[in-house]
Amino acid sequence: MKAEDEKYCVECGQAIHVKAEVCPFCGVRQPIFYANQPFQQQNRSLQDDRWLPALLFCVFLGSFGAHRFYLGQIGTAVIQLVTLGGCGIWWLIDLIMIVVGKYKDADGQYIKSPINNN
Ligand SMILES: [Zn+2]
């Protein structure tokens, strides 16, 4: 049974302290999402831990290309910075893409969204 102050490790499924960042049983770092959901559910919906920072960067500093700098897309980040987020339009498109999980990082990997988990 899982106590109130415990969660399940995403890797080995052991009950660990809810605030534990690293599992003491297997040493795997825990994601920030789904901290209190059962093990099987966690595995099915495991998220990209870059999604929330990328979203926040985009919301608050998106017109300066902050999310692109964060995701390693320096080239387009500089262009976005100079054009102030493509006059807001480019910024808006990026924001929507991040929210729905269709945004790709510098390596072409999707930044998976917990909202639309395809
Ligand atoms: Zn573990």
Secondary structure string (H, E, C) spanning 44-102:
HCCCCCCHHHHHHHHHHHHHHCHHHHHCCCHHHHHHHHHCHHHHCHHHHHHHHHHHHCC
pLDDT of 21 above 50: yes
Provide mean pLDDT across the span 93-110: 91
Q: How many residues does the chain have?
A: 118
Side chain identity at 23, as an amino acid letter?
C
Provide mean pLDDT across the span 86-93: 89
Beta partners for 6? Answer: 17
pLDDT value for 63: 87
Provide mean pLDDT across the span 16-44: 73
Count the Cβ atoms, other than its own, within 10 Å of residue 112: 19
Distance 109 CA to ligand 1 centre (A): 26
Of the candidates 9, 4, 88, 103, which has an alpha carbon nearest to the alpha carbon of residue 48? 103
pLDDT of 44 above 50: no
Q: Note whether 61 and 68 are within 8 A (CB).
A: no
Q: Which residues crowd ion ligand 1, with CB under 5 Å?
A: 9, 11-12, 23, 25-26
Distance 15 CA to ligand 1 centre (A): 8
